[in-house]
C-alpha cells in the first residue's frame, strides 16, 4: 500500500518483484528480464503497464534495452538520470544548420527505433520513449504528431541507413538484386520494419519512395508498359517484405523462450522424429535424413529472390526484347542499361 492508504499500482508491484529478483541474483547481470509480452502473460496486466515496468527499471539504472536481445540487467547500477545508449538515447549533438527542434526530433526517432529493435513495436509507445529520454510525454507530442507519425519517421530513418548508390550497376537485374539486398539488410537490422511498411498504404517517406523510384527506373525502357512497370516494382517490394515479416516473429519467440531457432528445433527433435516415423511423410523423412540440405530464412530469401527475378526476365522477354530477357537470366549484361 502507498503511504496515503491507496493501493500500490500494478506496475509498481511488478517493478518491486523484478528488483528483488535482480537483488538476489535470480536474474544475473547481462541476462534478460521478462519481455513486455511475458509480463503481460505472467501478471495479467496491459501492454502499457508492462512497458512502464521496463521503462522504470531502465530509468532507475537497473536495466537497459539491447537491440535484438531485449531488456537486460546491467552489470553495475547506473546513476539515476544516466540514460542507456542502446535505445539510441545519446545526448543531443549540436549540428550546424539544424534547429534545436530538428535535433530533438531525430533523437526521439533514434530512441524509438532502438526501443523497437530491442523490444518490438508493441513496446514502442510515446510514453515509453519520453521516459527513456527523461522528458514529459507532451514534449514528445510537440515534436511528433502521434504514434503513426513516429512509425513513419522511424521507417524513413531505417531506409536512410542504406542509401542507394549514385551510380546503379549495369542491367535491370543487377539493379533490382541490389535493391532487394539493401532492403533485406534493413529488415534484418530492424525486424519491426516489415510491420510498418505497407503496400496498400505506401509510406509517405522520402527515403522509402526513393526505393520505389529505383525499382521502376530499373525496368523502364525494357519494353514493359507503365502498368506492368508499377506492378514489377510493387512485387519486388512485396517479396522482400513478405519474407521479412517472419523476422520479428522469430525475434519475439527468441526473447520469450530464450531459445534460438536451432535450439528450438533440437527441443522439438523427438516430436518431429515421431511424426516422420509414422510413414505418412516419406519425402520429408528422406530430406530430414540428409545433412546437405539447409533451409533457413536466408536461404529462403536467396532462392525466392532469384526465382522472382527469373520471372521478371521472362516477362521482359515476352514484351518483345527476348534476347535481353534471356541473356540477363543467364547472367549476361543487358543490351540497354539505365
C-alpha cell of residue 26 = 535470480
> What pLDDT is attached to residue 275?
72
> What pLDDT is attached to residue 321?
46
Helices assigned H by DSSP within 161-268: 172-189, 193-196, 206-219, 226-257, 261-267
Under 8 Å between Cβ of 41 and 49: no
How far apart are alpha carbons 205 and 247 in whole angstroms? 22
> What pLDDT is attached to residue 278?
76
Q: What is the CA radius of gyration of the chain?
A: 24
Under 8 Å between Cβ of 305 and 238: no
pTM, whole model, 2 decimals? 0.68
Under 8 Å between Cβ of 116 and 86: no
Strands (E), the chain: 63-66, 70-73
DSSP reduced 3-state for 215: helix
> What pLDDT is attached to residue 243?
93
> What pLDDT is attached to residue 185?
93
Of residues 60, 195, 79, the one with CA closest to residue 132: 60
Separation of CA 124 from chain center? 12
How far apart are alpha carbons 265 and 259 in whole angstroms? 9
Number of H helices, E strands in the chain: 16, 2
The DSSP 8-state label assigned to residue 73 in this structure reads E
**Residue 70: strand pairing partners:** 66
How far apart are alpha carbons 64 and 132 in whole angstroms? 10
Q: Which residues contact 310 (CB under 8 A, 6 or more apart)?
A: 329
Q: Which residues contact 3 (CB under 8 A, 6 or more apart)?
A: none
Q: Is domain 10-73 given the CATH code 1.10.238.10 in the classification?
A: no
Separation of CA 30 from chain center? 22
Q: Which residue has the cell 526501443?
A: 115
Of residues 68, 116, 29, 91, the one with CA closest to residue 254: 68
> What pLDDT is attached to residue 155?
95
- What number does CATH give the domain 172-329? 1.10.357.10
**Residue 280: strand pairing partners:** none
Query: Domain boundaries in the chain?
Result: 10-73, 100-160, 172-329
How far apart are alpha carbons 146 and 256 in whole angstroms? 28
Q: Which residues contact 90 (CB under 8 A, 6 or more apart)?
A: 83, 107, 110
Tell me the pairing of strands 70-73 and 63-66.
Answer: antiparallel
How far apart are alpha carbons 207 and 160 in whole angstroms? 6
Under 8 Å between Cβ of 172 and 338: yes
Going residue by residue through the chain (338 aa), what tens digit of pLDDT does each one get?
A: 455 556 788 888 898 999 888 888 888 888 888 888 788 888 888 877 888 888 888 888 888 887 667 788 887 665 544 444 444 444 445 555 678 888 999 999 999 999 898 888 888 999 889 888 888 999 999 999 899 999 999 999 999 998 899 999 999 999 999 999 999 999 999 999 999 998 777 778 899 999 999 999 999 999 999 999 999 999 999 999 999 988 877 666 665 566 556 665 666 666 767 777 777 778 777 777 677 767 788 899 999 999 999 999 999 987 654 334 333 433 433 333 34
- What is the number of other CB atoms lying within 10 angstroms of the CB of residue 313? 20
Identical fold for domains 100-160 and 172-329, yes or no, is no
Q: Is domain 100-160 given the CATH code 1.10.150.530 in the classification?
A: no
Amino acid at each position: 500500500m502507498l503511504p496515503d492508504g491507496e493501493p500500490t499500482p500494478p506496475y509498481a508491484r511488478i517493478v518491486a518483484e523484478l528488483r528483488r529478483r535482480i537483488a538476489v541474483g535470480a536474474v544475473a547481470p547481462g541476462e534478460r528480464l521478462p519481455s513486455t509480452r511475458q509480463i503481460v502473460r505472467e501478471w495479467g496486466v496491459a501492454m502499457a503497464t508492462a512497458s512502464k515496468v521496463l521503462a522504470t527499471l531502465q530509468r532507475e539504472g537497473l536495466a537497459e534495452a539491447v537491440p535484438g536481445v531485449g531488456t537486460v540487467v546491467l552489470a553495475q547500477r547506473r546513476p539515476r538520470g544516466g540514460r542507456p545508449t542502446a535505445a539510441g538515447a545519446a545526448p543531443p549533438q549540436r549540428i550546424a544548420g539544424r534547429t534545436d527542434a530538428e535535433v530533438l526530433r531525430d533523437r526521439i526517432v533514434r530512441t524509438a527505433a532502438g526501443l523497437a529493435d530491442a523490444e518490438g513495436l508493441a513496446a514502442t509507445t510515446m510514453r515509453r520513449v519520453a521516459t527513456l529520454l527523461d522528458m514529459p510525454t507532451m514534449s514528445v507530442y510537440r515534436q511528433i504528431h502521434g504514434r503513426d507519425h513516429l512509425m513513419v519517421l522511424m521507417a524513413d530513418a531505417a531506409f536512410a541507413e542504406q542509401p542507394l548508390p549514385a551510380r546503379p550497376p549495369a542491367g535491370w537485374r543487377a539493379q533490382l538484386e541490389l535493391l532487394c539486398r539493401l532492403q533485406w539488410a534493413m529488415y534484418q537490422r530492424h525486424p519491426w520494419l516489415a510491420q510498418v511498411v505497407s503496400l496498400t498504404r505506401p509510406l509517405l517517406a522520402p527515403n522509402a519512395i526513393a526505393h520505389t523510384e529505383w525499382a521502376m527506373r530499373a525496368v523502364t525502357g525494357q519494353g514493359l508498359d507503365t502498368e506492368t512497370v508499377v506492378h514489377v516494382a510493387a512485387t519486388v517490394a512485396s517479396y522482400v517484405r513478405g519474407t521479412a515479416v517472419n523476422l520479428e516473429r522469430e525475434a519475439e519467440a527468441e526473447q520469450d523462450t530464450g531459445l534460438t531457432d536451432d535450439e528450438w528445433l533440437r527441443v522439438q527433435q523427438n516430436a518431429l522424429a515421431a511424426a516422420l516415423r509414422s510413414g505418412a511423410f516419406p519425402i520429408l523423412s528422406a530430406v530430414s535424413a540428409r545433412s546437405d540440405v539447409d533451409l533457413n530464412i536466408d536461404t529462403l530469401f536467396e532462392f525466392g529472390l532469384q526465382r522472382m527475378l527469373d520471372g521478371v526476365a521472362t516477362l521482359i522477354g515476352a514484351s518483345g526484347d527476348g534476347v535481353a530477357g534471356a541473356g540477363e537470366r543467364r547472367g549476361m549484361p543487358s543490351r540497354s542499361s539505365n
